[in-house]
């Protein structure tokens, strides 16, 4: 229910709306530039959509109002409705007012959805994004990337595990629309696992689905980025380091001749087949038998100075829908992108370049 702003206090976990508001207010105040000030403002009369109002004053005396609406638990699926409620109130004020969604915790998908729309938010862990046009102000800071107050007995939304990976890969690799039974067939995941992943992705606003109907839209780039939170090339596979003293090009030539070897090349070597970022210095290769593949490819195990990483694990989906170029099997772009996002060194920057290319050339790679 609406409350007036009170002096801030500290606690481990804010449980009441007033506690969340105090944390949010303190977060904003601590990040204001020198010369700016705040004070409680009067809420729009009888409007239960706004929990509090905070007036900002710039050094030149110009002012704006933040309209704060507290939501203890937020999923991206609910954000359009919440934001429209606040925006409607702001439009009625007749003076500069900025809607701000306040929560105990906002996950990465919720924050990305809001930032894509230049919508302001604050959460109690210190995640903040405030944009005011007049007087001009931009605040941004990063708090927790995972909910620090989620109890061990509460259900967790996750894309961990091979079944989730299969569903994600199928949603990215194939353009919608697709029904859930079709998605089960395409992904190879169980019906139960597929429905659980679909429900989670709906809550995260990463897919759109008609009631009891097909999936009609997939935010595939954001989906890959979200997947990278729960899957990593080195984190979720057995990875061994090797050296090929002859270099990466001779290695690729041997791979082209190794027709009996089950493998796919991922990472920089795969990405450069579509977009150039920088010369590849590290080969990342999925195989189903690391020692056997290393022997077949004549690689030397090393602790430092590796230029080849061989990975094996339970994620067989990495071998699905490869791209063959010059006799070499490369991982699907969806797999390559997530592997680069979680790769060491410049991998994340290479991933962004690849994702940019994928957005521009979607018809070339998406089925």
pLDDT score at 13: 79
CATH architecture of 162-227: Orthogonal Bundle (1.10)
Contact, 181 vs 175, CB < 8 A? no
pLDDT confidence of residue 182: 95
Q: What is the spatial order of strands in the sheet that 137-141 belongs to?
A: 37-41, 52-57, 63-71, 97-103, 120-123, 128-132, 137-141
The pTM (predicted TM-score) of the whole model is 0.70
Spatial separation of the C-alpha atoms in residues 51 and 122, rounded to whole Å: 14
How would you label 202-213 residue by residue, b for 16+ Cβ within 10 Å and e otherwise? bbbbbbbbeeee
The pLDDT score that the predictor gives to residue 329 is 97
Q: What is the pLDDT of residue 84?
A: 85
pLDDT in tens, the chain (367 residues): 344 444 433 447 787 888 888 888 999 999 999 999 999 887 765 455 788 889 999 999 999 899 998 887 787 878 888 888 888 887 777 667 899 999 999 988 889 889 989 999 999 999 999 999 989 999 999 998 888 887 554 445 689 999 999 999 999 999 999 999 999 999 999 999 999 999 999 888 899 998 888 999 999 999 999 999 999 999 999 999 999 999 999 999 999 999 999 999 999 999 999 998 888 899 999 999 999 999 999 999 999 999 999 999 999 999 999 999 999 999 999 999 999 999 988 999 999 999 999 999 999 999 8
Q: What is the pLDDT of residue 47?
A: 53
The neighbour count for residue 153, using CB atoms within 10 Å, is: 5
Among 11, 20, 12, 9, smallest CA distance to 151 is for 12
What CATH class is the domain 17-141? alpha beta
Which pLDDT does position 3 carry in this prediction?
Answer: 43
* Domain-wise residue ranges, the chain: 17-141, 162-227, 238-365
Residue 36 tokens, joined: 């700016």
| Cβ(290)–Cβ(238) below 8 Å | yes
Please tell me the predicted confidence (pLDDT) of residue 6: 42
| Cα dihedral 212/213/214/217 (nearest 10) | -80
Q: Is 194 exposed, middle or buried (0-12, 13-18, 19+ CB in 10 A)?
A: buried
Third-level CATH fold of 238-365:
Beta Polymerase; domain 2 (3.30.460)
């Amino acid at each position: 229910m609406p409350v007036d702003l009170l002096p801030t206090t500290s606690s481990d976990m804010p449980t009441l709306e007033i506690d969340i508001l105090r944390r949010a207010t303190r977060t904003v105040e601590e990040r204001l530039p020198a010369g700016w000030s705040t004070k409680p403002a009067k809420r729009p009369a009888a409007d239960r959509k706004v929990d509090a109002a905070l007036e900002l004053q710039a050094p030149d005396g110009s002012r704006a109002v933040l309209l704060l609406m507290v939501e203890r638990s937020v999923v991206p699926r609910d954000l359009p409705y919440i934001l429209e409620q606040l925006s409607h109130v702001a439009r009625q004020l007749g003076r500069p007012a900025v809607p701000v969604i306040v929560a105990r915790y906002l996950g990465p998908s919720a924050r990305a959805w809001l930032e894509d729309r230049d919508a302001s938010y604050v959460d109690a862990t210190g995640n903040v994004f405030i944009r005011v046009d007049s007087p001009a102000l931009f605040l941004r800071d990063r708090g927790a990337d995972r909910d620090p107050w989620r109890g061990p007995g509460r259900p967790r939304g996750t894309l961990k595990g091979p079944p989730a990976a299969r569903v994600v890969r199928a949603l990215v690799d194939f353009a919608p629309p697709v029904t859930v039974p079709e998605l089960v067939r395409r992904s190879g995941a169980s019906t139960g696992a597929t429905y659980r992943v679909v429900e989670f992705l709906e809550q995260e606003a990463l897919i759109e689905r008609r009631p009891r109907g097909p999936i009609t839209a997939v935010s595939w780039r954001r989906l890959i980025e979200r997947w990278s939170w729960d899957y990593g090339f080195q984190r979720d596979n057995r990875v061994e380091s090797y050296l090929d003293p002859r270099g990466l090009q001779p290695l690729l030539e041997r791979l082209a001749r190794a027709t009996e070897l089950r493998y796919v090349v991922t990472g920089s070597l795969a990405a450069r087949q579509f977009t150039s970022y920088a010369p590849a210095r590290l080969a990342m290769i999925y195989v189903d038998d690391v020692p056997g593949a290393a022997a077949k490819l004549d690689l030397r195990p090393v602790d430092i100075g590796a230029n080849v990483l061989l990975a094996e694990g339970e994620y067989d989906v990495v071998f699905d829908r490869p791209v063959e170029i010059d006799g070499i099997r490369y991982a699907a772009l969806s797999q390559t992108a997530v592997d680069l996002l979680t790769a060491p060194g410049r991998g994340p920057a290479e991933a962004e370049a690849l994702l940019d290319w994928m957005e521009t050339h979607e018809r070339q790679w998406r089925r």
